[in-house]
Structure 1
């Protein structure tokens, strides 16, 4: 199990977290639990001007886990259940992972680039979206009836959908309420809209062993 997360810089070297996974034995029908301490590491070398950085935690887990949680090593620490997803098992050949898009509106650039990448053998193109104009998102989701001038692109976009050429991953900003008032806003303190974490997420999801 691989956990990607963002936090303030300054975690001391060899900072550990406790990983706990639970699953069931299918043949003997009993609960299996596995707990291990694992070190937290930077995903990429931190950038000095940014107050926040992306981190990675790699945890050994039971086979086919049903629950996964982490905690720190303090005595009164509570476990925090973590949602997770499984990696893609289908082999798409070459997968192109794009940096998170922020207020993206240039569909005139997106459509030719989709075709160029396909022409050069890219099997799957993965777009990470922070914010995007609704019209461009509708294009990606194959909904082009809203503007007559875009109708010629309909057949191309339908082909993208049928062949599964594009995946869309939401890459939302962190909403922490007012907890960071008077301190750094993490959304403005991560390098290039958290690009390193997005690329790592894409690699871990689409690599096929």
Structure 2
């Protein structure tokens, strides 16, 4: 048993004496590691179960399928294709099965995203993880079998989010609203046919309230993306949030895929700043169908991302799609893309695509590109981002149809004129605060080395902004996702942690 202020004895390689012992202090199980020697092996691999889904039927997973979306300490031993014992019961029958797994992530991170799958009893009521006779019950959800739209756009987790202008651009493009009249009624339909599924870790409160108004109107679904917390641990572990790639973005994309696997016709994995305008057809569904017809054996459609910058409005009353598009400037740079998949062809994914996908069946879409608006410019700001990461921009080099722009503008003002939205709009941030801080952190830890070949100190580290210093603000409070956290009993080789009963909170909450 390990309790506060106890010590765990570990061997520190490379100190001249391979048999020498290194005494590390343990704070509630966390390995204090000022040298960041994250290659050290520990006696147990700790696992955070992000989500678990049950499928009575599945086109690709089979009958009574279980999918476990997890974060696993991958250094202690090779967890690629590791197996996990799963016990399912329905009140009358109990079944022990072995779940096989695939990992998605980068080797420089201690923790990696993993999806494990198995098949269990009918009418599942209880799900447990087992090892050497020790079991722990974990919560699970029923997978969705209906979706708001045929195309679900999974948006990667938002943290200290404040860029409401980018959200307005994306949500209205995806939902492009068109009204038409009959003699008795006015009807409305979403022409592009996309529904945003949005993960949130933390967000400026007024921005969150604005999203909630759009959620009430069916434009999007808000979902929790929790910081991982271990309620207790009897063996040492490395802190997971700072040692997983980009706040476990791959886990969020996998969760979204698993949620809508049996419900959507297509699932797109985009960031908030990745915006797709259909080039040839009036809807995403028709556009994706046409691209898939060019390569019928495709497992995904890969859309390249062209860098763009634009000038953003300071207030919602100043916001105009026409002016925003007029300010868009394109770069010749087209970066690594994002995929759109038929869910039966994918069971798990990374940030850009699955590492396990056969690249010969990945269909590269030549046109259009995703409009990547990573660099929004303030009208009245210093825009230091442009000095930190220099790019060349010229005239807009993507197609945005005039009739689409007109209908998007009308849809925006239809929402904007709502009294509740108008009240919220007065409290939205009008200048950047967190964006420059996070962008510089990203640049120093990853972008500078990858794109500008800026020399880094030390070896490649896990790309992650969790160690960035993010000061709190009294003028703009944040909303955070939170939950009740649980830890299972000591188990080997895996000890499991999980959460339940998620909720929105104004308190960051403490974590180990």
Task: Report TM bin, short chain.
Answer: 0.7 to 0.9
Aligned residue number for residue 85 of structure 2: 18
SS at match of 1:135: helix
- Per-residue CA deviations over 1:72-105 (Å, capped at 9, x if unaligned) read 2x3xx41111101111111420000011111101
Aligned residue number for residue 223 of structure 2: 169
d(CA) in 2 for partners of 1:134, 1:122: 28
Inter-CA distance 208–183: structure 2 relative to 1 (3 Å threshold): closer
**Could you tell me whether the CA contact under 8 Å between 2:174 and 2:195 is conserved in 1?**
no
1:44-55 equivalence runs, <5 A: 44=104, 46-55=105-114
Deviates more, 1:5-14 or 1:95-104: 5-14
The answer to whether the aligner puts 1:106 opposite 2:163 as a matched pair is: yes
Deviates more, 1:53-62 or 1:10-19: 10-19
d(CA) in 2 for partners of 1:183, 1:68: 25
The answer to whether the aligner puts 1:69 opposite 2:124 as a matched pair is: no
> Larger C-alpha radius of gyration, 1 or 2?
2
- Per-residue CA deviations over 1:133-174 (Å, capped at 9, x if unaligned) read 1111111112xxxxxxxxxxxxxx3xx523x22111111101
Aligned residue number for residue 201 of structure 2: 130
The answer to whether the aligner puts 1:139 opposite 2:210 as a matched pair is: yes
Inter-CA distance 69–179: structure 2 relative to 1 (3 Å threshold): closer
Unaligned runs of 5+ in 2: 1-65, 177-190, 264-512
d(CA) in 1 for partners of 2:81, 2:113: 16
SS at match of 1:62: coil
How far apart are residue 39 of structure 1 and its match?
2.4
SS at match of 1:36: strand
**Could you tell me whether the CA contact under 8 Å between 2:128 and 2:136 is conserved in 1?**
yes
d(CA) in 2 for partners of 1:79, 1:165: 41
Match of 1:32 among 88, 93, 107: 93
What TM-score results when the alignment is normalised by the length of structure 1? Answer: 0.78
How far apart are residue 188 of structure 1 and its match?
1.0
- Whose RCO is larger (CA < 8 A, sep 6+)? 1
RMSD: 2.3
- Corresponding residue pairs, total: 181
Unaligned runs of 5+ in 1: 25-30, 143-156
d(CA) in 1 for partners of 2:102, 2:138: 18
1:73-84 equivalence runs, <5 A: 74=132, 77-84=133-140
Aligned residue number for residue 243 of structure 2: 189
**Could you tell me whether the CA contact under 8 Å between 1:96 and 1:122 is conserved in 2?**
no
d(CA) in 2 for partners of 1:208, 1:202: 11
How far apart are residue 38 of structure 1 and its match?
2.3
- Per-residue CA deviations over 1:25-54 (Å, capped at 9, x if unaligned) read xxxxxx021111222331x1x312211111
SS at match of 2:166: helix
SS at match of 1:103: coil
d(CA) in 1 for partners of 2:81, 2:237: 26
- Per-residue CA deviations over 1:117-138 (Å, capped at 9, x if unaligned) read 1126243211111111111111
Aligned residue number for residue 7 of structure 1: 72
d(CA) in 2 for partners of 1:103, 1:51: 24
SS at match of 2:199: strand
Inter-CA distance 55–14: structure 2 relative to 1 (3 Å threshold): closer
SS at match of 1:57: strand
d(CA) in 2 for partners of 1:178, 1:61: 29
How far apart are residue 197 of structure 1 and its match?
0.9
Inter-CA distance 204–107: structure 2 relative to 1 (3 Å threshold): same
d(CA) in 2 for partners of 1:9, 1:169: 27
How far apart are residue 14 of structure 1 and its match?
4.9
d(CA) in 1 for partners of 2:90, 2:237: 40
